[in-house]
Amino acid sequence: MITIRSRSTARSFYRMIFALNTLVFAAAFFTVSPAQSNTDFGQWVNKVWPTARANGISRKTFDQAFAGVVPNPEVLERAKHQPEFVRPVWEYLDRALTPKRIGKGRELLRTYKSTLRKLEKRFGVERHILVAIWGLESAYGTRMGDLNVIRSLATLAYQGRRGKFGFQQLIGALKILERGDIPLSKFQGSWAGAMGQTQFIPTTYNAYAVDIDGDGRRNVWTSPADALGSTANYLRVSKWKKGAPTVIEVKLPRKFRFKYAGLKKTRPMSKWVAMGIRDKDGRGLKSSSRRAAVILPAGALGPAFLVFNNFRSIRRYNNAVPYALAVSYLAKRLKGKGTIVKAWPLNNLPLNLAQNRELQQLLIDQGHRLGAVDGKVGSKTIKAIKAYQQRKGLIADGYPSSALLDRLRKG
Ligand SMILES: [Ca+2]
CA of 219 to the centre of ligand 1 (A): 5
Tell how far the Cα of 60 is from the centroid of ligand 1, in angstroms: 24
Same domain flag for 196 and 327:
no
Q: Which residue has the higher pLDDT, 38 or 322?
A: 322
Same domain (yes/no): 155, 272? no
294, 324: one domain: yes
**How far does the centroid of ligand 1 lie from the alpha carbon of residue 115, in Å?**
13
Q: Same domain, yes or no, for 180 and 275?
A: no
Q: How far is the CA of 309 from the centre of ligand 1 (A)?
A: 30
Q: What is the pLDDT of residues 215-263, one digit of tens each?
A: 999 999 999 999 999 999 999 999 999 999 999 999 999 999 998 999 9
Confidence of residue 161 (pLDDT cuts 50, 70, 90): confident
CA 57 to chain centre: 30
Domain count, the chain: 3
Enter the pTM of the model: 0.87
Tell me the CATH number at 78.
Answer: 1.10.8.350
Domain extent, residue 67, equals 5-82+143-237
Ligand 1 centroid to 221 CA: how many Å?
A: 10
The answer to whether residues 301 and 374 belong to one domain is no
Going from the C-alpha of 181 to that of each of 53, 74, 107, the distances in angstroms are 19, 27, 29
pLDDT in tens, 75-118: 998 888 766 667 899 999 999 999 999 999 999 999 999 999 99
**Domain boundary residue, one of 212, 237, 262:** 237
73 in the same domain as 183: yes
**pLDDT, position 24:** 35
Q: Is residue 31 part of a domain?
A: yes
pLDDT reported for residue 83:
66
- 75 plus 206 within the same structural domain: yes
* Ligand 1 centroid – CA 211 distance (Å): 4
Domain boundary among 303, 334, 365: 334
Of the ranges 3-12, 105-114, 370-379, the best mean pLDDT one = 105-114
Cα 329 to middle of ligand 1, angstroms: 29
- Residue 286, domain CATH: 1.10.530.10
Q: Is residue 266 part of a domain?
A: yes
Same domain, 357 and 319: no
Instruction: Give domain status of residue 226, yes or no.
Output: yes
> Ligand 1 centre and the CA of 228: distance in Å?
11
* 294 assigned to some structural domain: yes
Half-sphere exposure in the Cβ direction for 11 (13 Å, CA): 26
One domain for residues 171 and 53: yes
Residue 113 lies in a domain: no
Asked if residue 12 and residue 70 are part of one domain, the reply reads: yes
Give bridge partners of residue 294 from the DSSP assignment.
Answer: 306
Residue bearing the bigger pLDDT, 399 or 80: 399
Mean pLDDT on 301-328: 95
**Residue 259 resides in a domain:** yes
* Domain assignment present for 132: no
Judgement on whether residues 365 and 398 belong to the same structural domain of the protein: yes
Highest mean pLDDT of the ranges 13-27, 230-244, 378-392: 230-244
Same domain, 229 and 256: no
**Residue 124 forms part of a structural domain:** no
Domain boundary among 237, 255, 286: 237
Q: What is the pLDDT of residue 19?
A: 40
Q: How far is the CA of 216 from the centre of ligand 1 (A)?
A: 6
- Distance from residue 180's CA to the centre of ligand 1 (Å): 12
| Dihedral sign from CA coordinates of 158, 315, 139, 302 | negative
Cα distance between residue 137 and residue 114, in whole Å: 22
DSSP string, 266-317: -EEHHHHHHTT-EETTSPPPPP-S-EEEEE-TT-TTS-EEEE-HHHHHHHHH
pLDDT at 31 exceeding the cut of 50: no
Q: Which amino acid is at 301?
A: L
